[in-house]
Structure 1
């Protein structure tokens, strides 16, 4: 259906390679996942596969592509503005250059619990919730008579029920599906081939990997290969140091003999020996140059909550009794009862629009007013806390003290930020880099209570195990809104579902 040969994609703005020497064959029925950090070119590659003209304005490319498909379906990260202005009726029944299976249209509406009577509504798409916008796109795009689907972060705004439905659809459809995702569980359930876009060595070098493996096998093999290469590189360097130490002792001994020998014949022999010593040094230099490279991974996260002063285990952080969850004049949940203690880790799930983020945001505001300790917070919308014109250094430092600045720069370097990026405006950073800033902020402030809204959403799937481990090791309290099932199972002690009846505890095995 699709064949790519030796593709390199370069961003015109800074002439940075995003894709390096990619060769790929896409067969009918393949389920191919594009993974990698934010800003690495996944969406651009997805669009280029559909039609190079979609990225011509900012991407240069070299390589060949052969497309053996005609019509395709595409669901972008965000609903395009020209569609936002349409009514539901115009969206579903307006002109189309692709044939529809109308039976499928109504079948998908039923499966996704979207009232098909609304197809003819005059309601504008811009007024729909994020989850509803995704659902109507699935209903329409999947009903088109096409052979290939391109999906860009299809799981981002879905509740768990819809997410599981989508997983089953991808598993069972005979169509080819090429998709971008950060959701580990979703990837494990769906992908049969992986394309991994990385930018290593301070994000200066593009590395593109293709493996015909399911995601779980790919992730494990990648980790095993990294560990083997790292161990081999360390062993070679250790052995090299031992050789150099022995050679240094020989060199010193020969030098001493040269200085203290006055016999001409013996001097010639010693000089010959010194020549051999110097030749050996050249061989050691070549050996060092040929040693196994110490492996690097762009997504490696080295952060630790090392200085947290935990609150007493049974100290209540917040208690809500018959709390009315309200946004503006709209009551989302009439009555919420909730008790959150100082060393609990609690997850909250719920349908799209149930009020999860609103509840977390209101709890954050309450605690900011009444708590005597700092509160760590990652909002769903990063600009709520990040000034787009400030730099990462501005955001993380509280004084012009050079010692503090160097400490922060060291932390940023451990998260793969260059010194230049540390001084660039936050608006120029990818979503994943902004998430790392918020994560580092909480570590530096040693907050004993963390409120997290979709904390893993913008991290690549290969870095998420490290993020989960960070929160697993955290000794304080965590209250997290999340649809990430792996995060909920591995980090949270308990999980609650929010609906019209309030918060109800559910079994993690049911996720």
Structure 2
């Protein structure tokens, strides 16, 4: 059990929360939700002991093993993947550490006498479940990309089987099959509790039995499923606004009475009584919500022809690796096309090939007449440089009207002050919103979006879903967010075993 008493915390003069009181039960499963910048990651760091300069008290039950996902890869770069996972066992860690740090081979005998070989199979199960290819299991961590390497540290945490886990956006590192494996692991194999920060609504729906909502400088506990939380949060917001409106109306009614009758001698005493009544009315001060909804909207400069894209019997490769054999596509105006599959299947490469940024081995991409394209990359490498957000958008969006640029930036939640922030200090969410603003000004009729929800909070994801549903053009996109796929996609293509196959929506349900 973790007890939070009168927790308050400020960062750079900004109050994140005041007087928070919570009891986190050992076997409960909490989803931690809130807008970007509201303090979710900070709260997890406070619980884990990484941040200590807070006001209040955090107490933990003795002998509770708390697991936190490590963020630093460097100490493990020379270690084999299987050894990293097995080091989640404390006894094995001390033996394996000697393997990589000591010249003598004393560790070999110790390892032979340990539970290493019995536990090796369990380590393999976790690596496989998280989508790490068997051919890398005996390779050093340095052989993997940053995202895949983080999965190995995630596998190490799972293998350590802590009593309680604190995880910050764990599904960001996972593809759809791995997310599903993790869901089943939490449901069927893991007996402990957790606090997981996530913007993946489908994941939260399937895993949590309570929600911690970070808003209004508070952390409020909602018992029950994530669906129940969504309903109750909406009801609470309506009730809060109604209460303030009623009190404000009563205050205005009494003020009007006093103004009307205070000059009349016959009503003076009554007016004085009303004045005292007015002074007793205390309107509660409601903090401003940290939740903000951007106003995304994609309009068209002109419509494309009905036949937007055609590909016949094409082959796609990345270097020496064949990704797709003999694939074909025929896309019509208005289709919202989702490409899904495991990491490494070739989804991003397919987008790049259709855009003409990656050559096909064979075949041809034929675009219809009057097509214009807007592209949001997964890595956001297009949002770079030393310019301010305003300067970058003005120079990249090919518009002459500075007022229009300011207006669009305001719609995607950049205040006038924030519009002057250098690109180099923008968060992932801010860069994504800035890149979307560029597309909004370009007004293309075809959108290419590679993992557009990766850095967005739930409010921005919902706004993007609505904008794409309303968009009259064509969309090609990649996502590992199941609800986003369901809400936006009209056609779904699975990349698997070097094949591209159209599948139905029910495959996601």
Question: What TM-score, normalized by structure 1, do the two folds share?
Answer: 0.79
Equivalent residues of 1:130, 1:157 under 8 A apart: no
Are residue 392 (structure 1) and residue 389 (structure 2) matched?
Answer: yes
Are residue 162 (structure 1) and residue 195 (structure 2) matched?
Answer: no
1:380 to 378, 381, 385: 378
Equivalent residues of 1:131, 1:159 under 8 A apart: no
Classify 1:74/1:419 alpha carbon distance in 2 versus 1 (closer, same or farther; 3 Å): same
Are residue 128 (structure 1) and residue 144 (structure 2) matched?
Answer: yes
2:192 to 156, 172, 175: 175
Equivalent residues of 1:338, 1:503 under 8 A apart: no
Greater Cα offset, 25-34 or 101-110: 101-110
Classify 1:23/1:229 alpha carbon distance in 2 versus 1 (closer, same or farther; 3 Å): closer
Greater Cα offset, 483-492 or 217-226: 217-226
Task: Give, in angstroms, the shift of residue 452 of structure 1.
Answer: 0.8
- The runs of 5 or more residues in structure 2 that have no matched partner are 93-114, 358-364
Are residue 146 (structure 1) and residue 162 (structure 2) matched?
Answer: yes
**Distance across 1 between alignment mates of 2:376 and 2:278:** 49
**Distance across 2 between alignment mates of 1:275 and 1:404:** 60
| 1:62 counterpart residue number | 55
**Distance across 2 between alignment mates of 1:401 and 1:338:** 32
* Residues 239-278 of structure 1: per-residue CA shift (max 9 Å, x gap): 8889989999x69xx9xxxxxxxxxxxxxxx675898999
**Distance across 2 between alignment mates of 1:402 and 1:377:** 18
Task: Give, in angstroms, the shift of residue 146 of structure 1.
Answer: 2.7
Task: Give, in angstroms, the shift of residue 466 of structure 1.
Answer: 2.7
**Distance across 2 between alignment mates of 1:456 and 1:48:** 27
For residue 173 of structure 2, give the secondary structure of its aligned residue in structure 1: coil
- The runs of 5 or more residues in structure 1 that have no matched partner are 201-205, 255-269
Classify 1:353/1:501 alpha carbon distance in 2 versus 1 (closer, same or farther; 3 Å): closer
**Distance across 1 between alignment mates of 2:23 and 2:244:** 33
For residue 232 of structure 2, give the secondary structure of its aligned residue in structure 1: helix
1:73 to 67, 72, 89: 67
| 1:225 counterpart residue number | 236
Task: Give, in angstroms, the shift of residue 186 of structure 1.
Answer: 0.3
* Residues 104-144 of structure 1: per-residue CA shift (max 9 Å, x gap): 3244345556576864x2x2213225664355334432222
The 5 A counterparts of 1:76-475 are 76=70, 80-88=73-81, 90-92=83-85, 97=90, 102=119, 104-109=122-127, 111-112=129-130, 119=137, 121=138, 123-129=139-145, 132-172=148-188, 173-198=190-215, 206-230=217-241, 272=265, 296-305=288-297, 307-309=299-301, 311-312=303-304, 314-316=306-308, 318-365=309-356, 374-382=372-380, 384-398=381-395, 404-475=401-472
**Distance across 2 between alignment mates of 1:148 and 1:373:** 52
Classify 1:472/1:118 alpha carbon distance in 2 versus 1 (closer, same or farther; 3 Å): closer
**Distance across 1 between alignment mates of 2:168 and 2:502:** 32
* Residues 453-480 of structure 1: per-residue CA shift (max 9 Å, x gap): 1122222235433321121111111111
Are residue 482 (structure 1) and residue 479 (structure 2) matched?
Answer: yes
Equivalent residues of 2:432, 2:455 under 8 A apart: yes
Classify 1:423/1:209 alpha carbon distance in 2 versus 1 (closer, same or farther; 3 Å): farther
For residue 323 of structure 2, give the secondary structure of its aligned residue in structure 1: strand
Task: Give, in angstroms, the shift of residue 421 of structure 1.
Answer: 1.6
Equivalent residues of 2:68, 2:166 under 8 A apart: yes
Equivalent residues of 2:396, 2:438 under 8 A apart: no
**Distance across 2 between alignment mates of 1:115 and 1:280:** 79
**Distance across 2 between alignment mates of 1:246 and 1:489:** 55
* Residues 71-107 of structure 1: per-residue CA shift (max 9 Å, x gap): 333324x562322343335424569635688153244
For residue 45 of structure 2, give the secondary structure of its aligned residue in structure 1: helix
**Distance across 1 between alignment mates of 2:473 and 2:239:** 35
**Distance across 2 between alignment mates of 1:510 and 1:214:** 23
Task: Give, in angstroms, the shift of residue 295 of structure 1.
Answer: 7.8
Classify 1:149/1:232 alpha carbon distance in 2 versus 1 (closer, same or farther; 3 Å): closer
For residue 303 of structure 2, give the secondary structure of its aligned residue in structure 1: coil
Classify 1:275/1:426 alpha carbon distance in 2 versus 1 (closer, same or farther; 3 Å): farther
**Distance across 2 between alignment mates of 1:280 and 1:448:** 66
Equivalent residues of 2:315, 2:326 under 8 A apart: yes
**Distance across 2 between alignment mates of 1:279 and 1:397:** 60
**Distance across 1 between alignment mates of 2:249 and 2:372:** 45
**Distance across 1 between alignment mates of 2:88 and 2:485:** 43
**Distance across 1 between alignment mates of 2:406 and 2:129:** 50
Question: What TM-score, normalized by structure 2, do the two folds share?
Answer: 0.79
Task: Give, in angstroms, the shift of residue 381 of structure 1.
Answer: 0.8
Classify 1:274/1:402 alpha carbon distance in 2 versus 1 (closer, same or farther; 3 Å): farther
For residue 155 of structure 1, give the secondary structure of its aligned residue in structure 2: helix
Equivalent residues of 2:465, 2:484 under 8 A apart: yes
Let me know the Cα RMSD of the aligned residues.
4.0
